[in-house]
């Protein structure tokens, strides 16, 4: 299994979502729905990516990994282990809840999963903001009082963002995405979110959404004050590096190429602007004549056993997610 894997997106209706995946990325969305998330790459019991084309078309990521784990993840990867990364597009037409993911040391006790995630801002409205971390000096006691008197805006760290900015959000950091951003989220394979506050909003059913205040207060890092985003830059470089993954930004001019050798590691390729041709090098000195064209918004899996040449059609920004293939701890 040496060819890149494209998957069918799984669209999720959210009360805070909209239609930006249609207007900005050219997707065909379910009609009359507020789509907040597109799960691009997922291997969970409740949600499975399905291969879109090629000899494995129609097979789930779980089934593909069970048959081809060494080719896709590398030698030593357990056939039954789930794919460790989840990739999503987020259309944040309205502000998301104020939330936190449990740190690894507490997750099992709280019956959840840790989740460290990276947000890459693909588009933002004027004055769009993110909320990550606490305002400097805020204590747990002040935060708890603010939940009761609805003054949490004064306790959390707001900052403006623009296209090309990114921030790594660790488990334990309180956070929210404000209205007006289209975001590529690359995260640990987890779906545990504790909502501590929801700004008085109701859900799609017209009822207040469930909160998880007790779990949130146990999970929040009370020493995490005013983290800074990584601002957009016209150069290639690492934009996120943690124990779970590393993300490299590649800025390519028209006609520029990048070669990825076989047998190094699996990678996830995300096109956040522009377009590339991704040609599989099936053996030294040969490659597919044209390769697959990958336009803005596409996310594909590049297997461990595959070698690829990426050729930019125009000025293009790619994200390469790497360093996620160490065999999981039993």
Strand partners, 258: 310
Q: Are strands 129-134 and 43-44 parallel, antiparallel or unpaired?
A: unpaired
C-alpha to C-alpha distance for 96 and 170, rounded to whole angstroms:
17
CA distances from 149 to 11, 140, 141, 144, 220 (A): 36, 14, 13, 9, 19
Catalytic hit among 195, 246, 257, 296: 195
Closest of 157, 177, 169, 166 to residue 115, by C-alpha: 169
Q: Are strands 299-302 and 292-294 parallel, antiparallel or unpaired?
A: unpaired
Q: Is 195 one of the catalytic residues?
A: yes
Where are the extended beta strands (E) located within 106-242? 117-124, 129-134, 156-160, 166-169, 175-177, 181-188, 194-197, 237-241
**Longest CA–CA separation in the chain, Å:** 67
Structure tokens at 172: 């334990």
Give catalytic residue positions.
195
């Amino acid at each position: 299994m040496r060819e890149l894997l494209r998957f069918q997106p799984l669209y999720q209706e959210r009360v805070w979502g909209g239609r930006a995946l249609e207007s900005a990325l050219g997707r065909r969305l379910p009609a009359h729905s507020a789509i907040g998330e597109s799960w691009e790459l997922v291997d969970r019991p409740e949600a499975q990516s399905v291969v879109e084309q090629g000899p494995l078309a129609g097979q789930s990521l779980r089934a593909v990994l069970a048959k081809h784990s060494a080719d896709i993840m590398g030698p030593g990867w357990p056939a039954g282990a789930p794919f460790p990364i989840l990739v999503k597009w987020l259309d944040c037409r309205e502000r998301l809840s104020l939330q936190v993911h449990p740190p690894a040391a507490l997750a099992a006790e709280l019956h959840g999963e840790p989740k460290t995630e990276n947000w890459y801002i693909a588009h933002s409205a004027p004055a769009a903001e993110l909320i990550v971390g606490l305002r400097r000096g805020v204590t747990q006691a002040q935060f708890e009082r603010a939940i009761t008197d609805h003054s949490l805006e004064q306790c959390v760290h707001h900052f403006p963002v623009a296209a090309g900015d990114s921030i790594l959000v660790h488990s334990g950091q309180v956070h929210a995405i404000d209205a007006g951003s289209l975001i590529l989220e690359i995260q640990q394979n987890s779906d545990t979110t504790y909502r501590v506050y929801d700004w008085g909003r109701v859900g799609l059913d017209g009822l207040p959404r469930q909160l998880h205040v007790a779990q949130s207060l146990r999970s929040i890092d009370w020493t995490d004050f005013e983290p800074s985003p990584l601002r957009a830059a016209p150069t290639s470089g690492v934009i996120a590096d943690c124990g779970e993954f590393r993300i490299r930004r590649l800025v390519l001019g028209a006609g520029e190429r990048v070669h990825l050798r076989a047998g190094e590691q699996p990678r996830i390729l995300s096109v956040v602007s522009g377009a590339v041709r991704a040609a599989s090098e099936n053996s030294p000195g040969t490659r597919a004549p044209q390769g697959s064209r990958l336009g803005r918004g596409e996310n594909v899996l590049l297997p461990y056993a595959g070698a690829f040449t990426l050729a930019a059609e125009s000025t293009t920004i790619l994200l390469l997610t790497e360093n996620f293939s160490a065999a999981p701890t039993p």
